[in-house]
Amino acid sequence: MKAIRDLGMFAAAMALASIVSAPEVRTDWDKHVVFERFHTYSWGRARTSNPLWEPRIEEVVDKELSGKGWHKVQDGGDAVVMAAGAARNLQEYQTFYDGMGGWRWGGFGETTTTVQNYRVGTLVLDVYTANDKRLIWRGTASDTLSDNPERNEKNLDKVVDKMFKKFPPKK
């Protein structure tokens, strides 16, 4: 009976891991903007809770924008790119019921609750018009972070690639 319960807890933990590890990526943009008139961009700032990630984010975004035909200039670009990144700790509680007849209120059996701790990182990328500083595009991504920085860098590449998949937006 204990082996079955342990197997059930393992299966539930794996299901949780697959749910929280799928990156959530969203984009939105000003539908009135003609993106074809933008060809250059400058960086405004990239801020993260870990300053080591600021140049990494800039490098990945630069690669994506370059692939879309946009050219980075030190100052005076058609658009300004800003990035904000943060990480937070979350907990997921999983309760398993082991008893006669399955779910029972006040019945026989054992209840086990486990706590799964994980870190979630969020990245927000904004593109503004340089002349009037109006937000024209936003991409957001949230994903579970690993203890392995190299894995997190690969995930950064994937989520930024996904963000810019349909960039620049077409009317």
Q: What would the pLDDT profile of 119-143 be if each residue is shown by its tens digit? A: 667 889 999 999 999 999 999 998 8
Q: What is the DSSP string of 65-97?
A: HHHTT-EE-SS--SEEEEEEEEEEEEEEEEEEE
What is the CATH classification number for the domain harbouring 143?
3.30.160.670
| Domain extent at residue 57 | 24-92+116-163
Q: Decide if 152 is inside a domain.
A: yes
* Whole-angstrom distance, CA of residue 2 vs CA of residue 118: 26
Distance (Å, whole) CA 160 – CA 69:
16
Reported as a single tens digit per residue, the pLDDT across 26-64 is 999 999 999 999 999 999 999 988 898 899 999 999 999
Give the integer Cα–Cα distance in Å for 26 and 159.
10
The answer to whether residue 143 is domain-embedded is: yes
Domain count of the chain? 1
Q: Is residue 121 part of a domain?
A: yes
Strand bridging mode 110-129 / 135-145: antiparallel
- Is residue 19 domain-resident? no
